[in-house]
Amino acid sequence: MLINKDTIIKDTDPKIREKSLDVTLPLSEEDESLLRELLQYVIDSTDEEKAEELNLQPAVGISAIQVGIPKKLTAVVVNDYDKNGDPITYQYMLANPRIVSSSVQKAYLEAGEGCLSVKDVHEGYVVRNARIKVKAFDLCTNQEIEIRARDYLAIVLQHEIDHFSGILYYDHIDKNNPFSHPSDATKI
């Protein structure tokens, strides 16, 4: 499957609002192949030369619905820092991810969120949970895993999991006061 700026469906397409379905485990060859292609998109999209050559927009995650397939599949690659301040890369190919718990503490990206499926700029803060626990099957490790995510990784995972319900990041922005946020929310 060719995945690039032209083939990723946009928010003007009603399909992006469809609910995604669970996939069966073990993964079918088709689902496994799709997850690998989604991951390759994310990896290649952050390489300037490849991104230009292949017509890719930089991304940290992409979900199957963004290529028109309503399945609970997503690939995420996040460069971040661990609790000691050391660089760390989180890389996942997730099937059926679900949030099983979340913190009361909130967080938001100071620069706002973006999405491969959204061309127009939607300014404002997207307030999410600062910490979440996700359970999923991860094709990278070929097993069921539990991810304890905080800050940026937690925001990315919530963004991708929202796609399974047809929710886009700007749906979370307060229409009357786009830059409002809880006073105790973590700014990232």
* β-bridge mates for residue 78, sequence order: 90
**What radius of gyration, in Å, describes the C-alpha atoms of the chain?**
16
CA dihedral sign, ordered 174, 154, 87, 95: negative
**Ramachandran region, residue 66 (left: φ > 0; alpha: ψ -120 to 50; beta: rest):** alpha
- Count of CB atoms situated within 10 Å of the CB of 46: 14
Between CA 153 and CA 158 the distance in angstroms is 9
**DSSP at 1:** -
Structure tokens at 163: 């796609």
From 29, 52, 123, 160, active-site residue: 160
Active site residue 160: yes
Three-state SS string over 16-77 comes to HHCCCECCCCCCCHHHHHHHHHHHHHHHHHCCHHHHHHHCCCCCCEEEHHHHCCCECEEEEE
Query: Looking at the annotation, which residues are catalytic?
Result: 160
